[in-house]
Structure 1
Amino acid sequence: MVDFEWYRSYCTIYKHNSVSEAAKTRMMTQPAMSQHLASLEAEVGEALFIRTSRKMVPTERGKELYSQLAPLIESLEETTMGFRSASLPTHTVIKIGAAHEFYSEKILPQLQKYNTCTISHFGTADQLLELLKEDKLDIIITSKKFQTPGIEYLKLMDEQFVIVAPNHYEIFDTDNPMLKEQWLSSQNWISYGLDLPIIRRIWREHFKNRPQIRPIHIIPNLHMILKAIENGGGLSVIPTYILDKSANKAKSKVIFEELKVKNEIFIAFKLKHRHLPKMNEVIKLIREQNV
C-alpha cells in the first residue's frame, strides 16, 4: 500500500532534482528520503528518475506521475494548513526585509496597497537570512538562494546590471576584449563593497578572470553610487531599474552594454508560515508588482 509521505517526498525530489536538497526541505535524513523514493518505485514497478552525478533526471513515467500528483498534494496541503492556520498567530504585522535600494524602488511606491501593518528592515542577503531564521523577519527579498531547511524561495524577478559612466566620459572604442578589459581596469571605480560585488561577476562572466581593480570609493548604497557617477566620480555597475527611475538621466550613460549581467531575485519565507493569510496577501502583492 502506498504511503502518502512517499508521494510528498517524490514531488519534493522532482522539484529540487536532488535527494539531499529534498531531504533538507522536508527536514528529513537523506537515507529516509531515498527509502521513500525506493518504496514508491517498487510500488510503481519502474524507475522514476535517472540518477546522474549532478542531479536526478525524471523519466517519462516520472514526469507523468508528477503531473498527476503535484496538484492533488498541493490542494491537500493547502486544506490541511487552512485548518491549522486557525490556531496560529494571525500575523497582523508583517516584517519585511530587503536591500534598501530594492525596497525604495519596488516596494515603497506600492506600500499603500498593503492591507496590513508592516515593519521594514534593510540589510545584506546574509543578514536578512539570519533574521528570517530567527523569526525576526517574516519575508525577505534576496538575490541569494541559500539551501536552508524550512525556508521556501519563490522566484520574483530578474534584475539586470550594466556598467555606467558619467555622460561626459570619453569611452575607448574597441571590439577587442583584452583591450576593453585593460581600459576598464585603468579607470576610477566606485564599488558597493571592497569585494567588488557585481563588478566581480562581470569580470568572471565576460573576461574569465578576476578584476584587477582598486576602487577609489566604497559607497554601500546604489542610489548614492549613481549620484557619484553623475557628479563625475567614476564608473560603477548599476541595476537598470534604478537607472530607469533616475531624475538625471542626461548625467550618466550605459557603456559596453554587451557586458551586462543578470541577477535572480527571490522572495523567501518560512515554510511553517506558508498558509498564513496575511503573509500570502503581502507575497501576492509583491509578486504582482514585480513579475
Structure 2
Amino acid sequence: MVDFEWYRSFIAIYKHNSVTEAARTRIMTQPAMSQHLASLEAEVGEPLFTRTTRKLVPTERGKQLYSHLAPHIESLEEKTMGLKLHLSPTMEMIKIGSTQELFTEHIISYLSRLDLNTITYFGDADRLLELLKEDRVDIILTTKKFMTPGIEYVRLMEERFVVVAPIGTNVPECKTYKEKELWLSGQRWISYGLDLPIIRRYWREFFKTRPTINPVHVIPSLHLILMAIAEGAGVSLLPTYMLKHHKVTEPGWRVVFEQMSVRNELLIGFKSKHKHVLVINDFIKRINEAQIEGVI
C-alpha cells in the first residue's frame, strides 16, 4: 500500500530536482527522503527520476505521475492548513508569498492591524512566482519583476542598498571611483547568492564594469549576513531600512561610502484575473497606507 507521505516527498523532489533540498523543505533527513522515493519507485515499478551529477531529472513516468498528483496533493495540504489554523468564519483569508526578510521588516509589525487571517509561504523570487502561478498564494512581496503573462505588479516602496563593513574596518580616504573600486575589490565579500545579486548592479552603476570578486561566504539571508558582518566575517550590500530597524548602541558594523547607494523597488505581485478581488485590493491599500504612515 502506498504511503501518502511518499507522494508528498515525490512532489518536493520533483519541484527541487534534489533529494537534499526536498528534505530540507519538508524538514526531513536526506536518508528518509531517499527511502520515500525508493519505496514509491518500487510500488510504481520503474524509476521516476534519472540521476545526473548535478540534479535529478524526472522520467516520462515521473512527469506523468506529477501531473496527476500535484493538484490533488496541494489542494489537500491547503485544506488541512485551513483546518489546523481554526480560521474564523467571520474573517477573510489571504495567502501571502514573501521572502523572510521582507516579511520580517514590512509585514510582522502590521499583522495586528489586519482584519484578515493569513497564511504565509517563504521563498526566493523564483519560488514566489511559482507559488503565485499555481494559485497557492494570492499575492507576493518581491524585489524581482518577471514579465509573465497574467501577472501584474504594483510598487510598495523603494529600498536603498549600501556597503556595510565590520565596525573596526579601516577605510582609506578614496577620492575617485577607481580608488574605491580597488579598495572594495580587495575586501572579503559576503553575498546573498553566487550570482552576486545587487553587487553586480552596484558595480555597473558606479564602476561601469562587472565585479571580479569571489564571495568568501554565500548566505541566503540578509539578516544573517548582517550578523556575519558584525562578527567580522566580511562586507556586503544591505538595505538601509534593515540597518535602521537593527540599530543598536554598538552595532558591530558601519556603512562605507554612504553616498554610493543603489536603489531597488519592492513590489506586490498578483494575478491579473484577481485584480478586482476585494480582499487583495484591501490588503494592498492597507499595506501601502501603513508604509506611508511609517508603520512598516
Provide the aligned C-alpha RMSD in A. 1.6
- CA drift of 1:259 comes to 2.0
Task: Give distance in 2, aligned partners of 1:185 and 1:248.
Answer: 28
State the partner residue of 1:200.
200
TM-score normalized with structure 1 length: 0.67
- Secondary structure of the equivalent of 2:259? helix
Indicate conservation of the 8 Å contact 2:91/2:117, yes or no.
Answer: no
User: 1:234: Cα distance to partner?
Assistant: 1.1
Measured after TM superposition, the shift of residue 142 of structure 1 is: 1.4
Q: Could you tell me how far apart the structure 1 residues matched to 2:207 and 2:261 are?
A: 12
- The more displaced of 174-183 and 243-252 is 243-252
How far is 1:91 from its partner? Answer: 9.4
* Change in 2 beyond 3 A, CA 1:280/1:241: same
> Which residue of 2 is the match for residue 271 of structure 1?
272
Q: Structure 2-normalised TM-score?
A: 0.65
Q: Per-residue CA shift, 1:158-210, capped at 9, x if unaligned?
A: 00000001111100211121121111111111111111111111001100111
In the TM superposition, what is the alpha-carbon distance from 1:247 to its structure 2 partner? Answer: 4.5
Do the aligned residues in 1 keep the contact of 2:203 with 2:210 (CA within 8 Å)?
yes
Q: Once the two structures are superposed, what CA deviation does each residue of 1:252-291 show, in whole Å capped at 9, x if it has no partner?
A: 1111112210001111111221222222221112211224
Aligned to 2:108: 108
Equivalent residue runs for 1:1-291 within 5 Å: 92-248=92-248, 250=250, 251-291=252-292
- Consecutive unaligned residues in structure 1, runs of 5 or more: 1-89
> Which one-letter code corresponds to 2:227 in the other structure?
K
Partners of 2:144 and 2:254 in 1: CA distance: 28
Distance in structure 1 (CA, Å) of the matches to 2:248 and 2:226: 10
Query: Partner of 1:259: helix, strand, or coil?
Result: coil
- Structure of higher CA gyration radius: 1
Could you tell me which residue of structure 2 aligns to residue 72 of structure 1?
none
The secondary structure found in structure 2 opposite 1:135 is: coil
Alignment partners' CA distance in 2, 1:254 and 1:213: 19
| Moved beyond 3 Å, runs of 4+ | none
Indicate the percent of aligned positions where both proteins have the same amino acid. 52
- Secondary structure of the structure 1 residue equivalent to 2:158: strand
CA contact (8 A) 2:153 2:269 kept: yes
**Structure 2: any 5+ residue segments left out of the alignment?**
1-89
- Cα distance, 1:127 vs structure 2: 1.2
Task: Give, as a single letter, the amino acid of the residue that structure 1 aligns with 2:218.
Answer: I
Deviation of 1:248 after TM superposition, in Å, equals: 3.4
Q: Give how far 1:141 is off.
A: 1.0
Deviation at 1:122, TM superposition (A): 1.2
CA contact (8 A) 1:150 1:272 kept: yes
Aligned-partner Cα distance in 2 for 1:241–1:247: 10
Q: Deviations over 1:46-72 (max 9, x none)?
A: xxxxxxxxxxxxxxxxxxxxxxxxxxx
- Deviates most, 235-244 or 258-267: 258-267
- In the alignment, the residues of structure 2 paired with residue 270 and residue 138 of structure 1 have an alpha-carbon distance, to the nearest angstrom, of 8
For the residue of structure 1 that corresponds to 2:107, the secondary structure is helix
One-letter code aligned to 1:261: V
Amino acid paired to 2:226:
L
Q: 1:237 to 1:123 in 2, by over 3 A?
A: same
Aligned residues: 202
Query: Do the aligned residues in 1 keep the contact of 2:153 with 2:270 (CA within 8 Å)?
Result: yes
Q: Kindly tell me: are residues 149 and 115 of structure 1, through their superposed partners in 2, closer, same or farther at Cα, counting changes over 3 Å? A: same
Q: 1:139 to 1:122 in 2, by over 3 A?
A: same
For the 8 Å contact 2:125–2:142, the answer to whether it is kept is yes
Distance, in Å, in 2 between the alignment partners of 1:278 and 1:206 is: 42
8 Å contact 1:189–1:236 — kept in the other structure? Answer: yes
Give me the whole-angstrom Cα distance separating, in 2, the residues matched to 1:223 and 1:112: 23
